Amino acid sequence: MRLKFELKYKDTNTMGRLGEIYYNGKIYETPMFMPVGTNATVKTLSPEELKSIGSGIVLANTYHLWLRPGEDVVCAAGGLHKFTNYDGPILTDSGGFQVFSLAKPKDITEEGVKFKNHLNGDALFLTPEKSIEIQQKLGSDIMMSFDECVKWPSTHEYMALSVERTLRWAKRGKVAKKDNDQLLFGIVQGGEYADLRKHCALELVKMDFDGYSVGGTSVGEDKETMYKMVEYSTPYLPEDKLRYLMGVGDPIDLIENVMRGIDIFDCVSPTRLARHGHAYTKYGKVNIKNSKYKRDFTPLDDCDCYACKNYTKAYIRHLIVANETFGARLLSIHNIYFLHELMRQIRENIKNGTIKEFRDEFVKNYYNGMNYLEKKTMNKEE
């Protein structure tokens, strides 16, 4: 098996964990943020830049690569690692999230999902078996089970039926997986319902997957609901296997969900925000297009990333306003570096037993001086 996870330490005050991923002679520490390379590339950045920023696992999207260039092309190239020239670990999602954003409820059957190709309108049909087949040809290190991703909110009645379908699909995908060194993760669904989350997690654990993901978050719910979804899932997952929260990348959410037992995260937000001129800083997100930065000749933030060490807000603003790609590249470098550095600080504070204090101080700075409890109260009032 080319990728192995080992749990190293558990926080005594939270569910926070420290672990190590062993891959091709290298060690990658968890908790970890994974940049998203939807079309087998993290937008505007090279693999060499990703590694220099500190990236470990990178995610690629099964649905988009199925459509173009096609899984057979990637397979003929030697798999995603050779195709993309990335020698670190690669995770592929199942395509389920994209499918369910394109399909109508009536298109979901026990066999699979019918939907239209978003590029040309052709009819497509994706099943648990087909998803695994595509991912195996892509040659990722971690594959995801095909599940039903349900929009929030949903009734308990529908979610209960959906969970059973997800469990049946997970079993079918596991049967379809060839005996190779790719890992396969099960996905815990169940919406905001504690009983369904517990049931789904326990049933998936019985199937003995290589790791587990908490799915069905970042689909329109508020932060407190998301945190409950995670709290309802992680206590029932094995301690010795990776836990993955899908589609979450907001800095506050990373801290909060590490404290709830999550090891790895992914999200398109750092590069998507960059393309729209937004940058993470320890004092919150900034919109670099704001006119107040036109003559601001200071760095984006007090950090050691390439963008902050070499360029000013005024220059990056000029690039973004002029629609120059280099601006998006610099902001992408900064945003991904920011999240990697945040994860490093999270690991350090778990090790020191100070993750709650770190969370409170980070939130106070990020939300302009409000402490954690004040921000939570404001969120509820909103």
Contact 258, 312 (CB under 8 A): no
Long-range contacts from 176-182, C-beta under 8 angstroms, 24+ separation: 176/128, 176/129, 176/132, 176/133, 177/132, 177/136, 177/143, 178/136, 180/136, 181/1, 181/2, 181/3, 182/135, 182/136, 182/139, 182/140, 182/141, 182/142, 182/143
User: Predicted confidence band at 349 (pLDDT cuts at 50, 70, 90)?
Assistant: very high
Q: Which DSSP letter does residue 108 get?
A: B
Rounded CA-CA distance 118/98 in Å is: 10
Q: How far apart are CA 32 and CA 30, in angstroms?
A: 5
Judge whether residue 9 has pLDDT over 80.
Answer: yes
Write down the H helix ranges in 193-301. 194-207, 223-231, 251-258, 269-275
Whether 377 has a pLDDT exceeding 70, the answer reads no
Contact 135, 84 (CB under 8 A): no
Q: Where are the beta strands (DSSP E) in 82-195?
A: 90-92, 113-116, 123-126, 142-144, 183-188
Mean pLDDT, rounded, of the chain? 95
The three-state secondary structure class of 247 is coil
**Residue 101: per-residue pLDDT:** 80
How far apart (Å, rounded) are the C-alpha atoms in residues 297 and 313? 6
Q: Backbone phi, then psi, for 357, in 5-degree steps?
A: -65, -40
pLDDT band of residue 187 (cuts 50, 70, 90) is very high
Which of 11, 141, 253, 266 is the catalytic position? 266
Instruction: Give the model's pLDDT for residue 369.
Output: 59
pLDDT band (50, 70, 90) for residue 2: confident
**What gap in Å lies between CA 285 and CA 376, rounded to an integer?**
18
Region(s) of the chain under CATH 3.20.20.105: 3-267
Whether residue 373 is predicted with pLDDT greater than 50 in this model: the reply is: no
pLDDT of res. 106: 73
Would you say residue 165 has pLDDT above 90? Answer: yes
Kindly indicate the confidence band of residue 141, based on its pLDDT and cuts at 50, 70 and 90. Answer: very high
* pLDDT single digits (tens) 282-317: 999 999 999 999 999 999 999 999 999 999 999 999
Name 186's bridge partners.
212
Q: How far apart are CA 182 and CA 197, in angstroms?
A: 26
How far is the C-alpha of 82 from the C-alpha of 73, rounded, in Å? Answer: 12
Preceding peptide of 31 cis, ω within 30°? yes
Least confident of 193-207, 259-273, 361-375: 361-375
Answer whether 143's CB lies under 8 Å from 185's CB: yes
Query: Which DSSP state fits 300?
Result: S
CA distances from 284 to 24, 317, 318 (A): 37, 17, 21
Question: What average pLDDT does the segment 336-345 reach?
Answer: 98
Is the predicted pLDDT of residue 254 greater than 60, yes or no? yes
Residue 375 pLDDT more than 80?
no
The single-letter code of the amino acid at 174 is K
Annotated catalytic residue: which of 93, 250, 263, 301?
A: 93
Active-site residue 93, yes or no? yes
d(CA 150, CA 148) in angstroms, rounded, equals 6
Is 208 designated active site?
A: no
CATH T-level assignment (fold) for domain 3-267: TIM Barrel (3.20.20)
- How far is Cα 84 from Cα 101, in angstroms, rounded to an integer? 27
Query: What are the tens digits of pLDDT across the range 75-119?
Result: 999 999 999 999 999 999 999 888 878 777 779 999 999 998 999
Please report, rounded to a whole number, the percentage of residues in the chain having pLDDT higher than 70. 96
